[in-house]
Amino acid sequence: MHALTLQRVDKATLMLALVTALMGSGLSPGISMAGAQAVRVTGAEQVVFDWSTDACETLDYPDAPARAFRDADGRTQLIASHFINRRMVGSDLDRVVRDCTVIMGSGADADPAQFDDREWIHSTYTLDGSKIYALVHQEYQGQHHKAGCAVNDDRTCWYNSVTLAVSTDAGDSYTQRPSPDRLVASIPYPYEAGAGPVGVFNPSNIVRNAKDGYYYALVHTRPYRAQGWGTCVMRTGNLADPSAWRAWNGRSFAVSFIDPYTNMTADPEAHVCKPVSTRNIGALYSSVTYNEALGRFVLVGMVEDEQDGRTQAGFYYSLSSDLVNWSKRRLLMAGHIPSAGICAEDRPVAYPSILDPDSAGRNFEGSDGDAYLYFTRFNYDGCSMTSDRDLVRVPIAFSR
């Protein structure tokens, strides 16, 4: 489980423990206001990947939001990765099955300057179905390398970045350039034992904005020195060049990310992103798609929030016309987030994303009046987290 515990609205504390006395743990309809645009759940869960029957090994489970694309042979590939990355393949989103081939492993490099420790394929995008670009959530976990950390210190030794992987064989395998030529986004500070979790986390899927032609993605940032907490927006005109991404600085897309090991700077403030719409979206960043019915980009993520005078965890959504300014988040589906105090009867969930089987593009970056909300369902053993996690989906609808 990677950046699961980061997804909180309360930036003053970002506590690991969540309130366990939530109202219900299954599906709840999205909050809707008269005259407002809304997204709502319309049906029951459907299992896409059942760990008990489909897993290729114990560690084969969905540990990131589901992403999909259509390859050059007309197949649909779906990736909801762990740091041992595999895929599902089929004729369309309704017929994907597990392929046990490892499409990308993790380097487990003890040197944080290599940005090559544990790596999750988080975002894929292809122009032709043959060459696939992928944003990678890269965790340097110092506790596994005796990098000034205790063996069980899995949070304060956590240093995160985003890197680029590329497939040139239609998704059969992915490779990365050596550091620093793989780095997409990082904080402008080197690893510091005991300071974590810090860095740039969990890239959303990539979506092309038809208005300006740029490719956009959202990332999560934690408060550390000059870097603020929240959701940052970055964009590029060249998916092949990891250094071409530029992030929002509060006025324009002018922030260039730098490698703190090869480019020491006296002005780190110039190389951190400015989180957007913090009051409205908090820490939503998991998935962004363009919805034709609403004429807006739809962002989904998991947070804990105040709704109707009570604390409610679950999946929330927000709308935007420009990917920078977002509406006030609203509840889409109530549910427990995996954390301390959660047990099997709570049926915790995580990692939401929207995918529409009818989406016309190769990258499923759009939706119409109906789509699916994909997410991971955690199957606990009593009050203990296990590898038993299923990828499921529920139908959703969009209406003005």
Instruction: Report the side by side order of strands in the sheet with 85-90.
Output: 67-70, 76-79, 85-90, 97-104
Per-residue pLDDT tens digits for 140-188: 999 999 888 887 778 999 999 999 999 999 999 999 999 999 999 999 9
Domain that holds residue 376: 3-399
Prior bond of 180 cis (ω within 30°): yes
- What's the pLDDT score for residue 307? 67
Q: Indicate the DSSP class of residue 382.
A: T
Q: Which residues 6+ apart lie within 8 Å of 91 measured at CB?
A: 74, 75, 76
Mean pLDDT of the chain: 91
Instruction: Compute the distance between CA of residue 365 and CA of residue 82 in angstroms, rounded to an integer.
Output: 22
Of 138 and 147, the structure prediction assigns the larger pLDDT to 138
Based on the structure, what is the number of domains in the chain? 1
- What's the pLDDT score for residue 260? 96
Using DSSP's 3-state secondary structure scheme, residue 322 falls into coil
- What's the pLDDT score for residue 232? 98
The angle formed by the CA atoms of residues 130, 131 and 133, to the nearest 5 degrees, is: 140
C-beta of residue 60 within 8 angstroms of C-beta of residue 53: no
C-beta of residue 115 within 8 angstroms of C-beta of residue 90: no
* Tokens coding 214: 């740029």
Instruction: Compute the distance between CA of residue 343 and CA of residue 110 in angstroms, rounded to an integer.
Output: 34
Per-residue pLDDT tens digits for 348-392: 999 999 999 999 999 999 999 999 999 999 999 999 999 999 999
Length of the chain in terms of residues written: 400
Using DSSP's 3-state secondary structure scheme, residue 6 falls into helix
Q: What is the CATH number of the domain that holds 293?
A: 2.115.10
Instruction: Compute the distance between CA of residue 312 and CA of residue 273 in angstroms, rounded to an integer.
Output: 29
Structure pTM? Answer: 0.91
Instruction: Compute the distance between CA of residue 294 and CA of residue 296 in angstroms, rounded to an integer.
Output: 5
Give the model's confidence band at 36: pLDDT under 50 very low, under 70 low, under 90 confident, else very high.
low
Of 269 and 28, the structure prediction assigns the larger pLDDT to 269
* Tokens coding 171: 């998704």
- What's the pLDDT score for residue 31? 34
Q: Which residues 6+ apart lie within 8 Å of 367 measured at CB?
A: 289, 290, 291, 292, 293, 298, 354, 356, 358, 359, 398
Helices of type H across the chain: 51-54, 278-281
Burial (CB count within 10 angstroms: exposed 0-12, middle 13-18, buried 19+), residue 76: buried
- Residues 59, 65, 66, 67: what is their CA dihedral angle, to the nearest 10 degrees? -120
C-beta of residue 331 within 8 angstroms of C-beta of residue 21: no
Residue 7 clears pLDDT 80, i.e. is over it: no
* Bridge partner list, 288: 299
Residue with tokens 């909050």: 31
Instruction: Compute the distance between CA of residue 188 and CA of residue 2 in angstroms, rounded to an integer.
Output: 22
Residue with tokens 């779906």: 78
Mean pLDDT (whole number) for 256-274: 94
Percent of the chain past pLDDT 90, that is, above it, reads: 84
Residue 1 clears pLDDT 90, i.e. is over it: no
- For residue 17, the number of C-alpha atoms closer than 13 Å in the C-beta half-sphere is 5
